[in-house]
Amino acid sequence: MTKRILDGARSVFLKNGYERSSMRNIADEINYSPGTLYFYFKDKGEIFHKLYEEGFRLLLNNSKVLDNVEDPFERLKANGKAYIQFAVENRDYYNLMFLVDEAADYKKEGLNLAGEAIGQIRAAVKACQEQGRFKDMNTDFLTFMIVSALHGICALFCKDRTKNFVEHTTEELMAQGYQCFILMLERA
Amino acid sequence: MTKRILDGARSVFLKNGYERSSMRNIADEINYSPGTLYFYFKDKGEIFHKLYEEGFRLLLNNSKVLDNVEDPFERLKANGKAYIQFAVENRDYYNLMFLVDEAADYKKEGLNLAGEAIGQIRAAVKACQEQGRFKDMNTDFLTFMIVSALHGICALFCKDRTKNFVEHTTEELMAQGYQCFILMLERA
DNA sequence: GTTTATATTGAACAGTGTTCAGTAACTTGC
DNA sequence: GCAAGTTACTGAACACTGTTCAATATAAAC
């Protein structure tokens, strides 16, 4: 049962992180012998990739409801907020999706989930421009910049690099830092 | 000779990445027995941390010369540019410094190198504010936002997540994305 | 009931970080 | 010069890692 293995892997990966989880850990979790995992999956990386996909579907489902927001700038703002919220609520998924090297080996093949997520942001940016906002800016570069800012906030959070702002909690930093960013986008 | 070990470790770590480098790899590189490394260093993490420090000194030296730039906003812009340039030219150091979990375990003790780097940005932001710029924004949140944007650009680069912008090269994306960001800061 | 397909095992291989008794090579004191 | 002491270094061993594979058990088909 591949589902049983994935359930075990999810539990172990999201508890200890990818690098610190072993095939034997997963096998023990579901009372399997380590060899059995290789009957259903090519290697550790393939199990990883299934959870990587799972994370993206979660993220994309979260942001799909925001397509209803008509005003493109409001939609852009909501997308960013949802993105950060996803990272906070699913820190371990976020790590798997964006900060584990393993992902790079599988990125090319098949459906491009990261590209789909970026596509949503890009579409909102473009709609903003057609409405008169960000007139003098290149769509791709602006999109990349926005994605970078969002990812930066989440990556600092995921790798525990927020302790240098002693005056504020991590949650406050992320929320208020994002508000700052939005404020700047509004004025640009 | 700790220097000999660090030279070997630097060469191996920066070639294969931290997780994919073994103590035996390092020992082989300098014709030592694996056990010898433990005579000079407590564990793999301690070797890592020495190179982590090395990376920060490199980064801080790069940006120290920018203290001469009198205008605070120009200084801020130059700092960001130098930061991105550092990541491009020292991708593996950047990974070690900001994207390897190991670092978290050593973060607390002694001199806070990351805090020093952030302090420079913060000082420039504050000077900008005293000059009338970013008047209505909180210094810490704005600093965090700027650091996030810079880190986001570099983290996407380091983890090879720039392939979704097929139209442009990675270098172009980083440079132009940063220009976009600067443009927005200018108008805020 | 026998054959065939599917599941599952656990030992084995080469690799990992780490420890440690043993040895070699210098330094010091006389 | 020679013994004592310190420092440097070795390589085997331990428990772990991902992965493979012959052997075995379970289920399905005829």
Which pLDDT tens digit goes with each residue over A75-123? Answer: 999 999 999 999 999 999 999 999 998 766 665 555 688 999 999 999 9
Share of chain B above pLDDT 90, in %: 86
pTM for the predicted model, two decimal places: 0.93
Token pair listed for B154: 């570099």
B174 CA, D30 C1': separation in Å?
66
Residue among A128, A96, A99, A115 nearest A12 (CA): A96
Residue B154 in this model has a pLDDT that exceeds 80: yes
**Closest-CA residue to A115 (of A56, A36, A74):** A56
Rg of chain A taking only CA atoms, in angstroms: 19
Contact, A46 CB vs strand D, < 7 Å: no
CA–centroid distance for A97 within its chain = 6
Residue pair B128/B76 in contact by the 8 Å Cβ criterion: yes
DSSP-derived secondary structure letter, A68: G
Helix (H, G, I), strand (E, B), or coil: what is residue B165?
coil
pLDDT-derived band at B33 (thresholds 50, 70, 90) equals very high
Q: What angle do CA A171, A177, A179 make, to 5 degrees?
A: 105
For A87, other C-beta atoms within 10 Å of its C-beta total 23
Q: How confident is the model at residue B54 (pLDDT cuts 50, 70, 90)?
A: very high
Residues in chain A with CB shorter than 8 Å from the CB of B147 are 152, 156
CB contact under 8 A, B141 and A188: no
Q: Give residue limits of the domains in chain B.
A: 1-41, 53-187
**Across all residues in chain A, what is the average pLDDT?**
93
Structure tokens at A60: 């994309």
Q: What is the pLDDT of residues B116-139, one digit of tens each?
A: 999 999 999 999 999 999 999 999
A187 inside 8 A of chain B by CB: yes
Residue A142: CA count within 13 A, CB half-sphere = 22
Look at residue A145 in the predicted model and tell me its pLDDT. Answer: 98
Secondary structure (DSSP) of A1-16: -HHHHHHHHHHHHHHH
Residue range A35-48, pLDDT digits in tens: 999 999 999 999 99
Task: Quote the pLDDT of residue A105.
Answer: 60
pLDDT of residue A90: 95
* Residue A112 confidence (pLDDT): 85
Q: Does domain A68-187 sit in CATH 3.40.50?
A: no
pLDDT, position B107: 53
Question: A68 in contact with B at a CB cutoff of 8 Å?
Answer: no
Options 3.10.560.10, 3.40.50.970, 1.10.10.60, 3.30.365.10; CATH for B1-41 is 1.10.10.60
- Does B151 contact A150 at a Cβ distance shorter than 8 Å? no
Contact across the interface for A142 and B98, Cβ inside 8 Å: no
What is d(CA A20, CA A92) in angstroms, rounded to the nearest whole number?
13
Question: CA angle, B170 as apex, A98 and B151 as ends, to 5°?
Answer: 50
B115 at A interface, C-beta within 8 A: yes
End-to-end Cα separation, chain B, in angstroms: 53
Least confident span in A118-122, A160-164, B20-24: A160-164
Q: What distance in Å separates residue B1's CA from the closest CA in chain A?
A: 31
Task: Assess whether B36 (CB) lies less than 7 A from strand D.
Answer: yes
pLDDT in the model for residue A146: 98
| Residue A44 beta carbon within 7 A of nucleic strand D | yes
State the pLDDT at residue B180: 97
Å between CA of A114 and C1' of C16: 33
3-state secondary structure B91-128: HHHHHHHHCCCHHHHHHCCCCCHHHHHHHHHHHHHHHH
- Which fold, B53-187? Tetracycline Repressor; domain 2 (1.10.357)
pLDDT value for A35: 96
